């Protein structure tokens, strides 16, 4: 399992491409698309991030640089093209990282174990043409104990965040490939 944070109180996120549960920081230092790369030279180890894989073949990996300020590199693969950018180069990606911090917490467990739904809460609609996402990330309990979670969904704040982040990365430059 990935070491989720270098120190207590530092919130790191990881959203990713493929479900690599049990991945070590050495494995994470390879190119997020599976071929050996130089991420370990560009970003200090250990590496944290968020991975998402879409039902239509889109893959997004956000690799976080450990530290107090959220600096990240994003790799997006969609339709045979690849975009690579960083928060230093792209304010859209920096905004997406900031938006992730404001996403509501997730409470695991079946519906019958959830607290009652407050009055006025509207369940988000499903996107008719949207991609369904599988998202992998570390998660933290109130006592900062950590675990790895995998989320799957077409609607809701986390899949919608991935949709928005894909568009943000695409606005940051031209694709290669």
pLDDT tens profile 15-48: 332 233 333 333 333 344 443 333 333 434 445 6
Total tally of structural domains belonging to the chain: 1
The parent domain of residue 102 ranges over 25-116+124-170
* 10 lies in some domain: no
Answer whether residue 6 is part of any domain: no
Q: For residue 15, is it within any domain?
A: no
Q: Flag whether 41 is in a domain.
A: yes
Assess whether the previous peptide bond of 110 is cis (omega < 30° from 0): no
In a domain, 3, yes or no: no
Whether 11 is in a domain gets the answer no
Say if residue 121's pLDDT is above 80. yes
Angle in degrees, 0-180, between the axes of helices 157-170 and 91-101, rounded to the nearest 10:
170
Q: What angle do CA 60, 19, 87 make, to 5 degrees?
A: 30
Residue 57 lies inside a defined structural domain of this protein: yes
Q: Which residues contact 2 (CB under 8 A, 6 or more apart)?
A: 14, 23, 24, 25, 28, 46, 48, 138, 148
| pTM score of the predicted model | 0.70
Point out which residues pair with 148 in neighbouring strands: 138
Cα–Cα distance, 35 to 33 (Å, whole number):
6
pLDDT at residue 139, rounded to an integer: 84
């Amino acid at each position: 399992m990935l070491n989720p944070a270098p120190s207590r109180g530092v919130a790191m996120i990881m959203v990713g491409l493929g479900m690599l549960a049990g991945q070590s920081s050495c494995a994470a230092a390879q190119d997020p698309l599976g071929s050996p790369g130089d991420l370990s030279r560009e970003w200090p180890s250990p590496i944290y991030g968020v991975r998402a894989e879409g039902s239509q073949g889109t893959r997004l990996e956000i690799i976080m640089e450990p530290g107090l300020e959220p600096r990240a590199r994003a790799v997006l693969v969609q339709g045979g093209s690849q975009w690579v950018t960083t928060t230093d180069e792209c304010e859209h990606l920096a905004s997406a990282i900031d938006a992730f911090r404001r996403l509501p917490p997730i409470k695991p467990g079946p519906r019958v174990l959830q607290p009652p739904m407050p009055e006025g809460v509207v369940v988000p609609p499903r996107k008719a043409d949207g991609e369904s996402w599988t998202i992998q990330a570390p998660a933290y309990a109130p006592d900062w104990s950590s675990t790895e979670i995998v989320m799957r969904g077409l609607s809701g704040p986390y899949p919608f965040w991935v949709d928005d982040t894909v568009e943000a990365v695409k606005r940051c430059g031209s694709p290669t490939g």
